[in-house]
Chains A and B, each alone.
Chain A
Amino acid sequence: MVAFTRIDEEPIYIRSKIYEPDHLVVLEPTLIGAIDVTEGLKPGGWIIINSDKKAADFSQFKGFKVATIDATSIAVKYRLGSSAAPIVNTAILGALSKITGFVGLDAVRDAVREIAPVKKDENVKASEEAYEIAEAEQEQP
């Protein structure tokens, strides 16, 4: 399953899928073996992977900037979703903020607090923890 986000300071008019993303987030690491997640990804783009491995372990992604964050463990720790199907996106957001700097942590906190339907505190903590441990400069493959 694929989702798309466009971010701009000007109004966005394009309403199609994204075929040449600037950056990529992979929430489910098993996809990496199954499909070519980098299809269309612009050279030098970020690939942020939910994984307990290190960035250097993803040697197949030469030419891109790789970052990893163990969002699953964070989600399980704060009991977001179930241990079989943890809700990792609030953690990923925190990591995204630290690694790319697109949005600040305060913005992430506000957004998560507004949108999380339940466990608002836990979701915010997950974002914060992911932000803390995500390494902005990761060893590249």
Chain B
Amino acid sequence: MQKVIMGNHALSWGALLSRAEVIAAYPITPQTEVVELLSNMCADGDLDAQFIKVESEHSAMAASMGASAAGARTFTATSAQGLALMHEVLHWATGARLPIVMGNINRAMAPPWTIWTEQTDSISERDTGWLQIYTSSIQEILDSVIQAYKVAEQVYLPVMVVLDSFVLSHTNENCDIPDQKKVDAYLPKFNNEYKLDVNKPAAYGGLTGPDWYYELRYKIQKDTERSLDLFVETGKEFGEVFGREYGLVETYKMDDADTVLVTSASIASTARPVIDAMREEGHKVGLVRVRVFRPFPSDLMRKLLAGRKKVLVVDRNISFGMSGAFYEETKAALYNVKSSPPMWGYIAGLGGRDVPTNVVRDMIDQTLSEDHPEGDIIWIGVKK
């Protein structure tokens, strides 16, 4: 069924089609529509789920943990301050190995108070062990929720589906709502092998000393690494069932590219016509859109970027005292590669500052005009 829907509602439809059984959430701009629609869907009987209104995002994740531990497929959504408020519980969800799927609408962190888009909120959570998918279209948002459950429930790790505030969350676009039967065939019922069961009592997350904590962390990392192949497998299968294939990254005009733009989310979408225009002018430019950021697809990035002449990375986030996260991690992946190209790291679009095609063009032009980047961080368009 084709429907024009907003990005937020794509998350709701994804949760409905995935047959989420428990939704515990707290409202925050620009996430509110996600749970408003889910609550309507529950009230109308379209979604057979328990909808729990909690008093804070910390509680939202705690309630989600309880539900997932009891064996329910669980969904929630939040943004910025709300994500930060549940930080402690994000670590819990990973350590407890609970395959919760959460929509995070990227919103800049306050103060100053803001509602516009920036990735720093979810980037700040990259150490929690949550898998992260950065989306760049309404269709991808919906599809990624379904794929997220399929991966999460095989590795017993939580996944966040991330989207830009307003640019995606409140943009209305044509979207194919997949057929429920096809989704059911692709995504079987959740069977939590470790679920709470009064007939098989166990204690979870008890005190674990240095003797064995290390091994439990080793297991999490191993399963995170395993998810790289699972994202590819489930993404291929998605293509076979629904006609849209998804990978760890999306590449555009990369075959003979000398200069590569690496970026994510909505900026990666806007960059496509810029790449097209520059190709018309004879520049050999290509685009890599990083979709799965956790786990970081280091091997694939090495394959794609080694041997190129120049790479520029555009981050819509910043880790103060260092630079943008996608830049840092791309550099790290390429560090030991002999033919690693020089890399420029740009910061753009913080706090929802618009990134139109001419700004993308400016960044690529700057890289083309220099042999080496001048510093570890390059700011675009600061009003000095």
List residues of A whose CB falls within 8 A of some B CB.
Answer: 13-17, 19
Within 8 A of A (CB), among B236-273: 266-267, 269-270, 272-273
Grouping DSSP codes into helix (H, G, I), strand (E, B) and loop, the A interface class, with mixed when no group exceeds half, is: loop
- Choose one: B164, B168, B273; the contact of A14 (CB below 8 Å): B273
Give the complex CA separation of A89 and B85 in angstroms: 38
What's the nearest-Cβ distance from chain B to residue A110, in Å?
A: 11
Q: B29 contacts the other chain (Cβ, under 8 Å)?
A: no
Q: B356 contacts the other chain (Cβ, under 8 Å)?
A: yes
What's the nearest-Cβ distance from chain B to residue A29, in Å?
A: 25
Q: B28 contacts the other chain (Cβ, under 8 Å)?
A: no
What's the nearest-Cβ distance from chain A to residue B269, in Å?
A: 5
Give the complex CA separation of A68 and B272 in angstroms: 37
**Is A17's CB under 8 angstroms from B273's CB?**
no
The 8 closest A-B CB pairs, nearest first, are: A16-B356, A15-B266, A13-B272, A13-B269, A17-B354, A15-B269, A15-B270, A16-B354
What are the residues of chain A within 8 A of B266 when measuring CB–CB?
A: 15
**Is B273's CB under 8 angstroms from A16's CB?**
no
What are the residues of chain B within 8 A of A17 when measuring CB–CB?
A: 354, 356
What are the residues of chain A within 8 A of B171 when measuring CB–CB?
A: 15
Q: B167 contacts the other chain (Cβ, under 8 Å)?
A: yes
Q: B340 contacts the other chain (Cβ, under 8 Å)?
A: no
16 A-B pairs with C-beta separation under 8 A: A13-B269, A13-B272, A14-B270, A14-B273, A14-B357, A15-B136, A15-B164, A15-B266, A15-B267, A15-B270, A16-B167, A16-B270, A16-B355, A16-B356, A16-B357, A17-B354
Q: Which of A13, A15, A19 has the most CB of B within 10 A?
A: A15
What's the nearest-Cβ distance from chain A to residue B103, in Å?
A: 18
What's the nearest-Cβ distance from chain B to residue A97, in Å?
A: 17
What are the residues of chain B within 8 A of A14 when measuring CB–CB?
A: 269-270, 273, 356-357
What's the nearest-Cβ distance from chain A to residue B272, in Å?
A: 4
What's the nearest-Cβ distance from chain B to residue A116, in Å?
A: 14
What are the residues of chain A within 8 A of B356 when measuring CB–CB?
A: 14, 16-17, 19
What's the nearest-Cβ distance from chain B to residue A21, in Å?
A: 13
Give the complex CA separation of A14 and B164 in angstroms: 14
What's the nearest-Cβ distance from chain B to residue A102, in Å?
A: 15
